[in-house]
Amino acid sequence: MATTNPLQFMQQVRAEVSKVVWPTRRELITTTIMVFAMAMVTAIFFFFVDFLIRQGLQLMFGYFG
């Protein structure tokens, strides 16, 4: 692996950063809202799955216990 001096490294970093396509404000807000919405949907889903499993176990333990 070839070593580069700090000046070359900084030039390479600057060149790579200039290639990055940064999101627009609208894209950033839209994706942020989607992340929060999906997190909420996932939380609600797991709440109901947990509730059903808990109810099933209580029913089973109440029946056999």
Q: Which residues of 4-22 are buried (b: 16+ CB within 10 A; e: fewer)?
A: eeeeeeeeeeeeeeeeeee
pLDDT(1) > 70 = no
Please write the tens of the pLDDT for every residue from 3-40. Answer: 778 999 999 999 999 999 999 999 999 999 999 999 99
pLDDT(2) > 80 = no
pLDDT(51) > 90 = yes
pLDDT at 65: 66
- Phi–psi pair at 53, nearest 5 degrees: -65, -40
pLDDT at 64: 78
pLDDT at 3: 78
